[in-house]
């Protein structure tokens, strides 16, 4: 089964957007290598650039333009600092003029000296007209789209957090708290939707021979109550009981004996709230010490328990 993964989805959307802009600006060959014949001409109607794709067929009146250059195909390139890295070539990779021929010969010599394969170090790409302005336009569009996405990524959790706080208080709450609450609300909604989708898939996989299938709403309610009970139990045990017991043990075996040695007439008193807060502090110190100390048998045992 394949579930929605935010990181993979963002990566796929960014890749699609990158290819879309590169295709419309005729920069696919420059970014990804190889040749794309549908980008090696200028349509007679400018708006046809917006529908340019791999299935687009050139019109006889379209203008074939642009140039071809041999460019580096890798970052690990054997090239002196003062030597140019690109050379004008024909579509077949042959030198365009004598200057390009001499430059390519020097590049090949440097590649052979470094024991590189010339075919692996260089490739031929198509360069459209007004190349500099196309690159500037491409970067500007990416910047604008990125700014819009960042604005939505901040505005949506912020608005959701403000609406959440208005349910409890009419006073304005700091936007930092609103953003954090809104982010966690979105994250929890995503986790709930993913869990419901998983339940629906498992329900559909159940065979009819095993008995009638449960209703999705009833199944979600039962699993939700079970998860809430587990969360409540873990919160109570790890958040209240364990820190309190840890503080009481340290107090009884370390702190009180030392205090009795200084003042034998002291009457010990244990305050649960104070012990709980001290237990949280002790637990945090213990986790930090376990992280910074060198590996040993105790830390190995804790990792094995995890």
The answer to whether position 233 is within a domain reads yes
Cα–Cα distance measured from residue 70 to residue 87, given in angstroms and rounded to the nearest whole number: 5
Query: Considering its fold, how many domains does the chain have in total?
Result: 1
Tell me the range of 2-16, 23-37, 83-97, 128-142 where mean pLDDT is highest.
128-142
The Cα–Cα gap between 158 and 255 comes to 46
Specify the higher pLDDT residue, 6 or 163.
163
Per-residue model confidence (pLDDT) at position 300: 59
**Quick one: DSSP state of residue 255?**
I
Work out the pLDDT band at 299, boundaries 50, 70, 90: low
Residues 81, 100 contacting (CB under 8 angstroms): no
Percentage of residues of the chain with pLDDT beyond 70: 82
Residue 196 lies in a domain: no
Report yes or no on 244 lying in a domain. yes
Pair of tokens at residue 295: 């590996």
- Establish if 80 belongs to a structural domain: no
Q: Pick the residue with more confidence: 13 or 163?
A: 163
The pair of three-digit structure tokens given for residue 106, joined into one six-digit string: 């020097």
Between 139 and 60, the higher pLDDT residue: 139
- pLDDT bin (cut points 50, 70, 90) of residue 147 is very high
The pLDDT assigned to 2 comes to 47
- Per-residue pLDDT band for 298 (boundaries 50, 70, 90) equals low
Q: Give phi and psi for 2, each to the nearest 5.
A: -115, 125
Q: Answer whether residue 1 is part of any domain.
A: no
| Mean pLDDT score across all residues of the chain | 79
Residues 6+ apart with CB under 8 A from 69: 86, 87, 88, 89, 124, 125, 127
Question: Half-sphere exposure (CA, 13 Å, Cβ side) for 253?
Answer: 6
Confidence of residue 58 (pLDDT cuts 50, 70, 90): low
126 by DSSP, 3-state: which? strand
Residue 286 lies in a domain: yes
| 217 domain residue, yes or no | no
pLDDT of 92-146, one tens digit each? Answer: 888 888 888 888 888 888 888 878 887 877 888 888 888 889 899 999 998 999 8
Over residues 226-259, the pLDDT tens digits come to 888 988 898 898 888 998 999 889 888 888 888 8
Taking residues 261-276, report their average pLDDT.
83
Instruction: Report residue 95: phi and psi, to 5°.
Output: -60, 140
- Please indicate, yes or no, if residue 78 is contained in any of the structural domains: no
Does the pLDDT value for residue 59 go beyond 70? no
Residue 216 has pLDDT above 80, yes or no: no
Q: What global pTM score does this model have? A: 0.59
Q: Report the 3 state secondary structure along 49-110.
A: HHHCCCCCCCCCCCEECCEEEEEECCCCCCCCCCCCCCEEECCCCCECCHHHHHHHHHHHHH
* Cα atoms in the 13 Å half-sphere on the side-chain side of 209: 0
Q: Is the model's pLDDT at 54 over the cut of 60?
A: no
* Residues 263-292, mean pLDDT to the nearest whole number: 83
Q: Is the pLDDT of residue 28 over 60?
A: yes
Q: What is the pLDDT of residue 1?
A: 42
Q: 304 lies in which domain range? A: 223-306
């Amino acid at each position: 089964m394949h579930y929605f993964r935010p990181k993979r989805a963002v990566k796929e959307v960014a890749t699609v957007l990158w290819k879309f802009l590169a295709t419309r600006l005729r920069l696919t060959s420059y970014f990804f290598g190889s040749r794309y014949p549908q980008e090696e001409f200028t349509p007679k109607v400018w708006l046809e650039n917006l529908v340019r794709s791999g299935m687009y067929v050139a019109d006889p009146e379209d203008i074939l333009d642009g140039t071809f250059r041999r460019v580096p195909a890798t970052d690990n390139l054997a090239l002196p600092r003062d030597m140019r890295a690109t050379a004008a070539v024909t579509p077949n990779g042959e030198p365009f003029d004598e200057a390009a021929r001499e430059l390519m010969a020097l590049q090949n010599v440097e590649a052979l000296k470094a024991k590189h394969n010339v075919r692996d170090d260089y490739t031929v790409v198509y360069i459209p007209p007004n190349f500099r302005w196309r690159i500037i336009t491409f970067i500007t569009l990416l910047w604008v789209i990125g700014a819009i996405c960042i604005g939505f990524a901040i505005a949506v959790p912020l608005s959701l957090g403000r609406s959440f706080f208005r349910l409890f208080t009419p006073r304005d709450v700091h936007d930092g708290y609103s953003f954090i609450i809104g982010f966690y609300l979105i994250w929890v909604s995503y986790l709930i939707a993913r869990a419901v989708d998983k339940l629906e898939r498992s329900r559909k996989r159940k065979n009819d021979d095993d008995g009638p299938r449960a209703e999705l709403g009833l199944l979600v309610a039962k699993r939700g109550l079970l998860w809430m009970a587990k969360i409540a139990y873990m919160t109570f045990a790890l958040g209240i009981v364990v820190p309190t017991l840890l503080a009481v043990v340290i107090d009884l075996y370390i702190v009180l004996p030392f205090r009795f040695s200084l003042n034998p007439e002291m009457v010990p008193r244990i305050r649960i709230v104070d012990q709980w807060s001290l237990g949280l502090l002790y637990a945090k110190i213990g986790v930090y010490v376990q992280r910074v100390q060198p590996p040993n048998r105790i830390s190995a045992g804790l990792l094995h328990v995890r």
